[in-house]
Structure 1
Amino acid sequence: MGRDLKTRYQDYPNFKREFGHLEGDTVQGKNHQGAVTTLVERQTKVAIVLNSHTKSSQNVNRSLAAWLTKLPRHLFKSITFDNGKEFAGWRTIANQFDLNIYFAAVGAPNQRGLNENTNNLLRKDGLHHDLIMDQLSDEFVQAVASRRNHIPRKSLNYQTPLEAFVNQITDEQLKFLT
Protein backbone atom coordinates (compact mmCIF):
# COMPACT_ATOMS: atom_id res chain seq x y z
CA MET A 1 0.00 0.00 0.00
CA GLY A 2 1.21 3.48 -0.84
CA ARG A 3 1.12 6.70 1.06
CA ASP A 4 -2.22 8.01 2.30
CA LEU A 5 -3.69 11.37 1.28
CA LYS A 6 -3.44 12.63 4.85
CA THR A 7 0.34 12.52 4.41
CA ARG A 8 0.04 14.58 1.23
CA TYR A 9 -1.61 17.45 3.09
CA GLN A 10 1.15 17.32 5.72
CA ASP A 11 3.87 17.26 3.04
CA TYR A 12 2.26 20.06 1.00
CA PRO A 13 0.23 22.44 3.19
CA ASN A 14 -0.52 24.62 0.09
CA PHE A 15 -1.41 21.61 -2.04
CA LYS A 16 -4.71 23.05 -3.23
CA ARG A 17 -3.10 26.28 -4.48
CA GLU A 18 0.30 25.23 -5.83
CA PHE A 19 1.39 24.03 -9.26
CA GLY A 20 2.98 20.65 -9.83
CA HIS A 21 0.59 18.07 -8.40
CA LEU A 22 -0.82 15.41 -10.72
CA GLU A 23 -3.74 13.02 -10.46
CA GLY A 24 -3.38 9.79 -12.43
CA ASP A 25 -5.37 6.80 -13.65
CA THR A 26 -5.76 4.49 -16.62
CA VAL A 27 -8.51 4.40 -19.25
CA GLN A 28 -9.27 0.95 -20.63
CA GLY A 29 -10.53 -0.02 -24.04
CA LYS A 30 -13.36 -2.31 -25.14
CA ASN A 31 -13.43 -5.60 -23.22
CA HIS A 32 -10.34 -4.44 -21.30
CA GLN A 33 -8.27 -4.62 -24.49
CA GLY A 34 -5.54 -2.07 -24.03
CA ALA A 35 -5.27 1.08 -21.96
CA VAL A 36 -3.76 4.53 -21.82
CA THR A 37 -2.38 6.20 -18.72
CA THR A 38 -3.83 9.62 -17.95
CA LEU A 39 -2.46 12.38 -15.76
CA VAL A 40 -3.87 15.83 -15.09
CA GLU A 41 -2.11 18.75 -13.40
CA ARG A 42 -4.44 20.13 -10.74
CA GLN A 43 -3.93 23.90 -11.17
CA THR A 44 -3.81 24.14 -14.96
CA LYS A 45 -6.01 21.15 -15.81
CA VAL A 46 -3.54 20.13 -18.53
CA ALA A 47 -4.17 16.52 -19.60
CA ILE A 48 -1.27 14.18 -20.27
CA VAL A 49 -2.16 10.94 -22.03
CA LEU A 50 0.52 8.25 -22.25
CA ASN A 51 0.14 5.35 -24.66
CA SER A 52 0.88 2.47 -22.29
CA HIS A 53 -0.95 -0.01 -24.60
CA THR A 54 -1.97 -2.21 -21.65
CA LYS A 55 -2.92 -1.80 -18.02
CA SER A 56 0.06 -3.83 -16.76
CA SER A 57 2.22 -2.32 -14.05
CA GLN A 58 5.27 -2.83 -16.28
CA ASN A 59 3.78 -0.91 -19.23
CA VAL A 60 2.36 1.87 -17.06
CA ASN A 61 5.75 2.32 -15.37
CA ARG A 62 7.55 2.23 -18.73
CA SER A 63 5.33 4.95 -20.20
CA LEU A 64 5.55 7.10 -17.05
CA ALA A 65 9.35 6.79 -16.95
CA ALA A 66 9.72 7.60 -20.66
CA TRP A 67 7.60 10.74 -20.21
CA LEU A 68 9.19 11.92 -16.94
CA THR A 69 12.69 11.48 -18.36
CA LYS A 70 11.94 14.24 -20.89
CA LEU A 71 10.95 16.78 -18.21
CA PRO A 72 12.92 19.07 -15.91
CA ARG A 73 13.54 17.43 -12.56
CA HIS A 74 11.11 18.62 -9.86
CA LEU A 75 8.68 20.16 -12.38
CA PHE A 76 6.09 17.93 -10.72
CA LYS A 77 5.99 17.34 -6.98
CA SER A 78 3.45 14.57 -6.54
CA ILE A 79 1.11 12.13 -8.23
CA THR A 80 -2.08 10.78 -6.66
CA PHE A 81 -3.31 7.45 -8.08
CA ASP A 82 -6.17 5.13 -7.29
CA ASN A 83 -5.35 1.72 -5.79
CA GLY A 84 -5.29 -0.18 -9.08
CA LYS A 85 -2.68 -2.90 -9.43
CA GLU A 86 -1.32 -1.12 -12.52
CA PHE A 87 0.35 1.30 -10.08
CA ALA A 88 2.06 -1.46 -8.07
CA GLY A 89 5.48 -0.30 -9.33
CA TRP A 90 5.03 3.18 -7.88
CA ARG A 91 8.18 3.02 -5.72
CA THR A 92 10.39 2.73 -8.82
CA ILE A 93 8.90 5.91 -10.31
CA ALA A 94 8.99 7.73 -6.96
CA ASN A 95 12.66 6.91 -6.38
CA GLN A 96 13.86 7.41 -9.96
CA PHE A 97 12.21 10.82 -10.37
CA ASP A 98 12.13 12.07 -6.77
CA LEU A 99 8.33 12.30 -6.80
CA ASN A 100 5.97 11.81 -3.90
CA ILE A 101 3.26 9.32 -4.82
CA TYR A 102 0.01 9.08 -2.90
CA PHE A 103 -3.06 6.88 -3.16
CA ALA A 104 -6.73 7.76 -2.80
CA ALA A 105 -8.83 5.63 -0.49
CA VAL A 106 -10.34 2.48 -1.99
CA GLY A 107 -13.73 3.26 -3.50
CA ALA A 108 -13.22 7.04 -3.32
CA PRO A 109 -12.76 8.28 -6.90
CA ASN A 110 -13.88 11.73 -5.69
CA GLN A 111 -10.42 12.09 -4.09
CA ARG A 112 -9.08 12.32 -7.65
CA GLY A 113 -12.13 14.04 -9.06
CA LEU A 114 -10.32 16.20 -11.61
CA ASN A 115 -8.72 13.11 -13.15
CA GLU A 116 -12.03 11.22 -13.25
CA ASN A 117 -13.72 14.20 -14.95
CA THR A 118 -10.83 14.58 -17.41
CA ASN A 119 -11.03 10.87 -18.28
CA ASN A 120 -14.72 11.30 -19.11
CA LEU A 121 -13.88 14.29 -21.34
CA LEU A 122 -11.10 12.31 -23.05
CA ARG A 123 -13.62 9.54 -23.74
CA LYS A 124 -15.85 12.11 -25.50
CA ASP A 125 -12.82 13.47 -27.40
CA GLY A 126 -11.86 10.13 -28.93
CA LEU A 127 -10.97 7.47 -26.34
CA HIS A 128 -14.42 5.90 -26.67
CA HIS A 129 -15.55 2.90 -24.60
CA ASP A 130 -15.79 0.72 -27.73
CA LEU A 131 -12.21 1.43 -28.81
CA ILE A 132 -9.59 -1.33 -28.64
CA MET A 133 -6.62 0.52 -27.17
CA ASP A 134 -3.73 -1.94 -27.31
CA GLN A 135 -2.92 -0.95 -30.91
CA LEU A 136 -3.47 2.82 -30.77
CA SER A 137 -0.84 4.96 -32.44
CA ASP A 138 1.05 7.48 -30.34
CA GLU A 139 -0.09 10.17 -32.81
CA PHE A 140 -3.77 9.39 -32.17
CA VAL A 141 -3.30 9.40 -28.38
CA GLN A 142 -1.46 12.75 -28.52
CA ALA A 143 -4.12 14.23 -30.83
CA VAL A 144 -6.83 13.40 -28.26
CA ALA A 145 -4.80 15.04 -25.46
CA SER A 146 -4.00 18.06 -27.65
CA ARG A 147 -7.67 18.61 -28.47
CA ARG A 148 -8.57 18.62 -24.77
CA ASN A 149 -5.67 20.95 -23.88
CA HIS A 150 -6.67 23.53 -26.50
CA ILE A 151 -10.23 24.13 -25.24
CA PRO A 152 -10.54 27.35 -23.16
CA ARG A 153 -11.90 26.76 -19.66
CA LYS A 154 -13.98 29.20 -17.65
CA SER A 155 -12.23 28.03 -14.46
CA LEU A 156 -8.92 29.16 -16.03
CA ASN A 157 -10.21 32.64 -16.97
CA TYR A 158 -10.86 31.36 -20.49
CA GLN A 159 -7.28 30.28 -21.01
CA THR A 160 -6.66 26.86 -22.44
CA PRO A 161 -5.06 24.32 -20.08
CA LEU A 162 -1.94 24.48 -22.24
CA GLU A 163 -1.71 28.28 -21.90
CA ALA A 164 -2.20 28.03 -18.13
CA PHE A 165 0.47 25.32 -17.94
CA VAL A 166 3.03 27.30 -19.95
CA ASN A 167 2.42 30.32 -17.69
CA GLN A 168 3.58 28.18 -14.73
CA ILE A 169 6.86 27.12 -16.34
CA THR A 170 9.91 29.09 -15.22
CA ASP A 171 12.64 30.28 -17.61
CA GLU A 172 15.04 27.73 -16.08
CA GLN A 173 12.59 24.88 -16.71
CA LEU A 174 11.89 26.18 -20.21
CA LYS A 175 15.59 25.92 -21.12
CA PHE A 176 15.45 22.23 -20.27
CA LEU A 177 12.41 21.68 -22.51
CA THR A 178 13.91 23.17 -25.68
Structure 2
Amino acid sequence: MTYTHITTDELVIIESYFHQGTSITQISKQVGRARQTVHNVETFLRDGHTALDYYKRYKQNKKRCGRKQTVLPADQHLYVEEKVAQGWTPDVIAGRREHNIGCSGRTLYLMFKRNAFDISTLPMKGKRKPNGHKERRGRQSFRRTMSDRETDYPAFEEEFGHLEGDTIVGVHHKSAVVTLVERLSKAIITLKPEGRTAGDIETVINDWFHQVPRNLFKSITFDCGKEFSNWQTMSNHNDVSIYFADPGTPSQRGLNEHSNGMLRKDGLPKQLDFNEVDQRFVASAAARRNHIPRKSLDYQTPLEVFMSYMDVGKLSSLF
Protein backbone atom coordinates (compact mmCIF):
# COMPACT_ATOMS: atom_id res chain seq x y z
CA MET A 1 0.00 0.00 0.00
CA THR A 2 1.36 3.43 -0.96
CA TYR A 3 1.99 5.74 1.97
CA THR A 4 0.39 9.20 1.83
CA HIS A 5 1.43 12.14 3.96
CA ILE A 6 -0.97 13.36 6.61
CA THR A 7 -3.22 16.19 5.45
CA THR A 8 -4.19 19.45 7.13
CA ASP A 9 -7.78 18.19 7.56
CA GLU A 10 -6.52 15.09 9.38
CA LEU A 11 -4.32 17.23 11.61
CA VAL A 12 -7.28 19.40 12.60
CA ILE A 13 -9.38 16.30 13.39
CA ILE A 14 -6.58 14.77 15.48
CA GLU A 15 -6.14 18.06 17.35
CA SER A 16 -9.88 18.20 18.06
CA TYR A 17 -9.99 14.62 19.38
CA PHE A 18 -6.84 15.29 21.43
CA HIS A 19 -8.46 18.19 23.28
CA GLN A 20 -11.52 15.98 23.92
CA GLY A 21 -9.32 13.35 25.58
CA THR A 22 -9.99 10.66 22.98
CA SER A 23 -7.55 7.76 23.05
CA ILE A 24 -4.93 7.26 20.38
CA THR A 25 -6.49 3.96 19.31
CA GLN A 26 -9.92 5.54 18.73
CA ILE A 27 -8.42 8.50 16.87
CA SER A 28 -6.43 6.11 14.71
CA LYS A 29 -9.60 4.29 13.69
CA GLN A 30 -11.51 7.52 13.02
CA VAL A 31 -8.91 9.08 10.69
CA GLY A 32 -7.66 5.79 9.21
CA ARG A 33 -4.07 6.36 10.25
CA ALA A 34 -1.51 4.19 12.08
CA ARG A 35 -1.34 4.59 15.87
CA GLN A 36 2.30 5.68 15.58
CA THR A 37 1.33 8.55 13.25
CA VAL A 38 -1.35 9.77 15.65
CA HIS A 39 1.04 9.35 18.58
CA ASN A 40 3.65 11.56 16.87
CA VAL A 41 1.10 14.31 16.38
CA GLU A 42 -0.20 14.10 19.96
CA THR A 43 3.33 14.20 21.37
CA PHE A 44 3.89 17.43 19.44
CA LEU A 45 0.57 18.87 20.69
CA ARG A 46 1.38 18.04 24.33
CA ASP A 47 4.38 20.39 24.12
CA GLY A 48 1.97 23.31 23.66
CA HIS A 49 2.02 23.45 19.85
CA THR A 50 -0.93 23.48 17.43
CA ALA A 51 -1.84 21.49 14.33
CA LEU A 52 -0.75 24.48 12.24
CA ASP A 53 2.68 24.43 13.90
CA TYR A 54 2.96 20.72 13.10
CA TYR A 55 2.11 21.36 9.45
CA LYS A 56 4.67 24.19 9.19
CA ARG A 57 7.36 21.93 10.63
CA TYR A 58 6.36 19.20 8.19
CA LYS A 59 6.70 21.58 5.21
CA GLN A 60 10.10 22.76 6.44
CA ASN A 61 11.35 19.19 6.84
CA LYS A 62 9.98 18.19 3.44
CA LYS A 63 12.27 20.71 1.76
CA ARG A 64 15.23 18.61 2.83
CA CYS A 65 13.79 15.43 1.33
CA GLY A 66 14.67 13.99 -2.07
CA ARG A 67 17.81 13.89 -4.13
CA LYS A 68 20.30 16.69 -3.65
CA GLN A 69 20.98 18.95 -6.62
CA THR A 70 24.04 17.95 -8.61
CA VAL A 71 26.97 20.33 -8.31
CA LEU A 72 29.91 19.75 -10.63
CA PRO A 73 33.52 20.20 -9.50
CA ALA A 74 35.18 23.43 -10.63
CA ASP A 75 37.15 21.82 -13.46
CA GLN A 76 34.07 20.06 -14.89
CA HIS A 77 31.96 23.21 -14.54
CA LEU A 78 34.59 25.21 -16.44
CA TYR A 79 34.84 22.51 -19.14
CA VAL A 80 31.06 22.56 -19.68
CA GLU A 81 31.03 26.36 -19.95
CA GLU A 82 33.86 26.31 -22.48
CA LYS A 83 32.23 23.65 -24.67
CA VAL A 84 28.80 25.29 -24.58
CA ALA A 85 30.45 28.57 -25.60
CA GLN A 86 31.86 26.66 -28.60
CA GLY A 87 28.37 25.46 -29.57
CA TRP A 88 28.33 21.99 -27.99
CA THR A 89 25.03 20.83 -26.51
CA PRO A 90 24.80 19.13 -23.08
CA ASP A 91 24.04 15.68 -24.51
CA VAL A 92 27.10 15.93 -26.78
CA ILE A 93 29.31 17.03 -23.87
CA ALA A 94 28.24 13.99 -21.85
CA GLY A 95 28.24 11.57 -24.79
CA ARG A 96 31.54 12.55 -26.43
CA ARG A 97 33.40 11.61 -23.19
CA GLU A 98 36.46 13.74 -23.93
CA HIS A 99 36.38 14.88 -20.30
CA ASN A 100 34.91 13.09 -17.31
CA ILE A 101 31.54 14.63 -16.38
CA GLY A 102 29.94 13.49 -13.16
CA CYS A 103 26.37 13.47 -14.48
CA SER A 104 24.30 12.56 -17.52
CA GLY A 105 23.30 14.80 -20.41
CA ARG A 106 19.76 14.99 -19.00
CA THR A 107 21.09 16.25 -15.66
CA LEU A 108 23.17 18.87 -17.49
CA TYR A 109 20.01 20.13 -19.20
CA LEU A 110 18.30 20.38 -15.80
CA MET A 111 21.27 22.37 -14.51
CA PHE A 112 20.87 24.77 -17.42
CA LYS A 113 17.16 25.01 -16.62
CA ARG A 114 17.92 26.20 -13.09
CA ASN A 115 20.45 28.72 -14.48
CA ALA A 116 23.59 26.96 -13.28
CA PHE A 117 25.04 27.89 -16.69
CA ASP A 118 24.30 30.51 -19.34
CA ILE A 119 21.10 29.15 -20.92
CA SER A 120 21.20 31.70 -23.75
CA THR A 121 23.85 29.62 -25.53
CA LEU A 122 21.61 26.54 -25.89
CA PRO A 123 19.76 25.80 -29.15
CA MET A 124 16.46 27.59 -29.62
CA LYS A 125 13.25 26.01 -28.38
CA GLY A 126 9.61 26.31 -29.37
CA LYS A 127 7.69 26.66 -32.59
CA ARG A 128 8.54 29.22 -35.23
CA LYS A 129 5.14 29.03 -36.92
CA PRO A 130 1.73 28.71 -35.20
CA ASN A 131 -0.48 25.68 -35.65
CA GLY A 132 -2.50 25.86 -38.84
CA HIS A 133 0.02 28.08 -40.66
CA LYS A 134 -0.14 27.66 -44.44
CA GLU A 135 2.79 28.59 -46.65
CA ARG A 136 1.74 30.64 -49.70
CA ARG A 137 5.17 31.25 -51.20
CA GLY A 138 7.20 29.27 -53.71
CA ARG A 139 4.55 27.82 -56.00
CA GLN A 140 6.60 27.09 -59.09
CA SER A 141 4.72 25.95 -62.16
CA PHE A 142 7.19 23.19 -63.01
CA ARG A 143 9.62 21.52 -60.68
CA ARG A 144 10.92 18.10 -59.73
CA THR A 145 9.21 16.88 -56.58
CA MET A 146 10.12 14.63 -53.67
CA SER A 147 8.36 11.71 -55.30
CA ASP A 148 10.69 12.11 -58.30
CA ARG A 149 13.64 11.89 -55.93
CA GLU A 150 12.34 8.66 -54.42
CA THR A 151 12.05 7.18 -57.91
CA ASP A 152 15.48 8.33 -59.06
CA TYR A 153 17.33 7.37 -55.86
CA PRO A 154 15.72 4.39 -54.10
CA ALA A 155 18.65 4.21 -51.67
CA PHE A 156 18.53 7.94 -50.93
CA GLU A 157 18.53 7.54 -47.14
CA GLU A 158 21.76 5.49 -47.11
CA GLU A 159 23.71 7.17 -49.94
CA PHE A 160 26.43 9.75 -49.48
CA GLY A 161 26.35 12.85 -51.66
CA HIS A 162 22.79 14.16 -51.33
CA LEU A 163 22.54 17.82 -50.34
CA GLU A 164 19.79 19.99 -48.88
CA GLY A 165 19.97 23.66 -49.82
CA ASP A 166 18.50 27.03 -48.94
CA THR A 167 19.42 30.68 -48.50
CA ILE A 168 19.48 32.77 -45.34
CA VAL A 169 18.91 36.47 -45.81
CA GLY A 170 20.49 39.44 -44.07
CA VAL A 171 19.14 42.72 -42.78
CA HIS A 172 16.29 44.30 -44.80
CA HIS A 173 16.31 41.21 -47.09
CA LYS A 174 18.98 42.86 -49.27
CA SER A 175 21.64 40.14 -49.05
CA ALA A 176 21.85 36.36 -48.77
CA VAL A 177 24.09 33.37 -48.07
CA VAL A 178 23.60 30.00 -49.75
CA THR A 179 23.68 27.05 -47.33
CA LEU A 180 24.16 23.40 -48.36
CA VAL A 181 24.18 20.39 -46.03
CA GLU A 182 25.29 16.87 -46.90
CA ARG A 183 22.71 14.54 -45.39
CA LEU A 184 24.80 11.62 -44.11
CA SER A 185 27.70 13.58 -42.62
CA LYS A 186 25.66 16.73 -41.81
CA ALA A 187 28.60 18.79 -43.07
CA ILE A 188 27.60 22.40 -43.82
CA ILE A 189 28.82 24.44 -46.81
CA THR A 190 28.17 28.20 -46.97
CA LEU A 191 28.56 30.26 -50.16
CA LYS A 192 28.55 34.04 -50.52
CA PRO A 193 26.80 35.25 -53.72
CA GLU A 194 27.07 38.79 -55.05
CA GLY A 195 23.36 39.36 -54.54
CA ARG A 196 20.22 37.34 -53.90
CA THR A 197 18.74 37.07 -57.41
CA ALA A 198 18.36 33.75 -59.22
CA GLY A 199 21.34 34.65 -61.41
CA ASP A 200 23.54 35.39 -58.40
CA ILE A 201 22.61 32.10 -56.75
CA GLU A 202 23.24 30.16 -59.97
CA THR A 203 26.65 31.76 -60.44
CA VAL A 204 27.97 31.05 -56.94
CA ILE A 205 26.73 27.45 -56.98
CA ASN A 206 28.26 26.82 -60.41
CA ASP A 207 31.58 28.30 -59.27
CA TRP A 208 31.59 26.05 -56.21
CA PHE A 209 30.80 22.93 -58.23
CA HIS A 210 33.77 23.69 -60.50
CA GLN A 211 36.03 23.37 -57.44
CA VAL A 212 34.75 19.98 -56.24
CA PRO A 213 35.29 16.55 -57.81
CA ARG A 214 32.87 15.74 -60.60
CA ASN A 215 29.85 13.66 -59.54
CA LEU A 216 30.81 13.78 -55.87
CA PHE A 217 27.32 15.08 -55.11
CA LYS A 218 24.31 13.39 -56.62
CA SER A 219 21.38 15.66 -55.80
CA ILE A 220 20.27 18.89 -54.11
CA THR A 221 16.86 19.43 -52.51
CA PHE A 222 15.88 23.10 -52.32
CA ASP A 223 12.84 24.89 -50.99
CA CYS A 224 10.54 26.57 -53.51
CA GLY A 225 12.09 30.03 -53.32
CA LYS A 226 12.30 32.14 -56.46
CA GLU A 227 16.07 32.39 -56.04
CA PHE A 228 16.34 28.79 -57.30
CA SER A 229 14.28 29.35 -60.44
CA ASN A 230 17.37 28.71 -62.62
CA TRP A 231 17.56 25.16 -61.30
CA GLN A 232 17.39 23.51 -64.71
CA THR A 233 20.51 25.30 -65.91
CA MET A 234 22.35 24.46 -62.69
CA SER A 235 21.31 20.82 -62.95
CA ASN A 236 22.47 20.43 -66.55
CA HIS A 237 25.65 22.44 -66.09
CA ASN A 238 26.86 20.50 -63.04
CA ASP A 239 25.35 17.08 -63.77
CA VAL A 240 23.46 17.04 -60.46
CA SER A 241 19.78 16.26 -59.88
CA ILE A 242 17.77 19.07 -58.28
CA TYR A 243 14.48 18.56 -56.44
CA PHE A 244 12.10 20.77 -54.49
CA ALA A 245 10.32 20.22 -51.20
CA ASP A 246 6.58 20.79 -51.12
CA PRO A 247 5.53 24.37 -50.24
CA GLY A 248 5.08 24.90 -46.51
CA THR A 249 6.83 21.67 -45.49
CA PRO A 250 10.28 22.60 -44.14
CA SER A 251 10.36 19.19 -42.43
CA GLN A 252 11.22 17.67 -45.82
CA ARG A 253 14.52 19.56 -45.54
CA GLY A 254 14.71 19.44 -41.77
CA LEU A 255 18.48 19.06 -41.58
CA ASN A 256 19.05 22.19 -43.64
CA GLU A 257 16.52 24.19 -41.62
CA HIS A 258 18.15 23.11 -38.36
CA SER A 259 21.61 23.95 -39.71
CA ASN A 260 20.43 27.41 -40.73
CA GLY A 261 19.26 28.03 -37.18
CA MET A 262 22.69 27.10 -35.83
CA LEU A 263 24.43 29.32 -38.40
CA ARG A 264 22.26 32.21 -37.28
CA LYS A 265 23.66 31.76 -33.78
CA ASP A 266 27.24 31.30 -34.96
CA GLY A 267 27.80 34.57 -36.76
CA LEU A 268 25.18 34.96 -39.52
CA PRO A 269 22.27 36.70 -37.73
CA LYS A 270 19.38 38.41 -39.49
CA GLN A 271 20.71 41.81 -38.40
CA LEU A 272 23.91 41.37 -40.44
CA ASP A 273 24.33 42.81 -43.94
CA PHE A 274 25.98 39.96 -45.85
CA ASN A 275 27.08 42.41 -48.55
CA GLU A 276 29.66 43.66 -46.05
CA VAL A 277 31.30 40.26 -45.48
CA ASP A 278 33.26 37.92 -47.74
CA GLN A 279 33.36 34.19 -48.47
CA ARG A 280 35.98 33.57 -45.80
CA PHE A 281 33.70 35.04 -43.13
CA VAL A 282 30.62 32.98 -44.04
CA ALA A 283 32.77 29.85 -44.42
CA SER A 284 34.11 30.32 -40.89
CA ALA A 285 30.59 30.02 -39.46
CA ALA A 286 30.13 26.68 -41.21
CA ALA A 287 33.61 25.51 -40.20
CA ARG A 288 32.78 26.10 -36.55
CA ARG A 289 29.73 23.85 -36.79
CA ASN A 290 31.59 21.21 -38.79
CA HIS A 291 34.03 20.77 -35.90
CA ILE A 292 31.38 20.27 -33.21
CA PRO A 293 30.51 16.62 -32.39
CA ARG A 294 26.92 15.52 -33.02
CA LYS A 295 25.03 12.96 -30.97
CA SER A 296 23.33 11.66 -34.14
CA LEU A 297 26.79 10.96 -35.61
CA ASP A 298 27.81 8.85 -32.61
CA TYR A 299 29.60 11.91 -31.19
CA GLN A 300 31.82 12.39 -34.22
CA THR A 301 32.10 15.76 -35.93
CA PRO A 302 30.49 16.30 -39.36
CA LEU A 303 33.95 16.84 -40.81
CA GLU A 304 35.19 13.52 -39.42
CA VAL A 305 32.26 11.68 -40.99
CA PHE A 306 32.65 13.55 -44.28
CA MET A 307 36.35 12.64 -44.42
CA SER A 308 35.50 8.97 -44.04
CA TYR A 309 33.74 9.08 -47.43
CA MET A 310 36.48 10.69 -49.48
CA ASP A 311 40.19 11.42 -49.86
CA VAL A 312 41.62 13.92 -47.38
CA GLY A 313 43.36 15.83 -50.14
CA LYS A 314 40.05 16.86 -51.69
CA LEU A 315 38.69 18.59 -48.61
CA SER A 316 40.41 21.95 -49.04
CA SER A 317 38.23 22.92 -51.98
CA LEU A 318 34.97 22.01 -50.29
CA PHE A 319 34.78 24.05 -47.10
TM value normalised by structure 1: 0.94
Structure 2 residue aligned with 1:90, among 231, 250, 254? 231
Number of residues of Structure 1 aligned to a counterpart in Structure 2: 176
AA of the residue aligned to 2:187: V
Distance (whole Å) between structure 2 residues aligned to residue 29 and residue 170 of structure 1? 35
* 1:141 corresponding residue in structure 2: 282
Structure 1 residue aligned with 2:192, among 51, 64, 78? 51
Structure 2 residue aligned with 1:104, among 241, 245, 256? 245
Query: Identity of aligned pairs, percent?
Result: 49
Describe the SS at the equivalent of 2:242. strand
Unaligned stretches of 5+ residues in structure 1: none
How many Å apart are 1:33 and its aligned residue? 2.1
Describe the SS at the equivalent of 1:40. strand
* 1:7 corresponding residue in structure 2: 148
Contact between 1:38 and 1:49, CA under 8 Å: does it hold in 2?
yes
How many Å apart are 1:2 and its aligned residue? 1.5
Distance (whole Å) between structure 2 residues aligned to residue 13 and residue 66 of structure 1? 29
AA of the residue aligned to 1:96: H
Q: For 1:91-125, what per-residue CA distance to the aligned partner results, in whole angstroms no more than 9, with x for missing partners?
A: 11100111110000111111111000000000010
Contact between 1:34 and 1:135, CA under 8 Å: does it hold in 2?
no
* 1:120 corresponding residue in structure 2: 261
Describe the SS at the equivalent of 1:10. helix
Contact between 1:53 and 1:133, CA under 8 Å: does it hold in 2?
no
How many Å apart are 1:159 and its aligned residue? 1.2
How many Å apart are 1:71 and its aligned residue? 0.8
* 2:111 corresponding residue in structure 1: none
AA of the residue aligned to 1:130: Q
AA of the residue aligned to 1:47: I
How many Å apart are 1:174 and its aligned residue? 4.3
Distance (whole Å) between structure 2 residues aligned to residue 80 and residue 58 of structure 1? 18
AA of the residue aligned to 2:227: E
AA of the residue aligned to 1:139: R
The list of structure 1 runs, each at least 4 consecutive aligned residues, that deviate by more than 2 angstroms after superposition, is none
Distance (whole Å) between structure 2 residues aligned to residue 81 and residue 139 of structure 1? 24
Unaligned stretches of 5+ residues in structure 2: 1-141
Distance (whole Å) between structure 2 residues aligned to residue 138 and residue 94 of structure 1? 23
* 2:297 corresponding residue in structure 1: 156
Of the two, which has the highest radius of gyration? 2
AA of the residue aligned to 1:145: A
AA of the residue aligned to 1:161: P
Contact between 1:126 and 1:144, CA under 8 Å: does it hold in 2?
yes
Describe the SS at the equivalent of 2:178. strand
TM value normalised by structure 2: 0.53
Q: Which one scores higher on RCO, CA 8 angstroms, separation ≥ 6?
A: 1
Contact between 1:127 and 1:144, CA under 8 Å: does it hold in 2?
yes
AA of the residue aligned to 1:118: S
Distance (whole Å) between structure 2 residues aligned to residue 98 and residue 107 of structure 1? 28
AA of the residue aligned to 2:205: L
Structure 1 residue aligned with 2:215, among 59, 74, 99? 74
Q: When you count strand as a share of all residues, which structure comes out higher?
A: 1
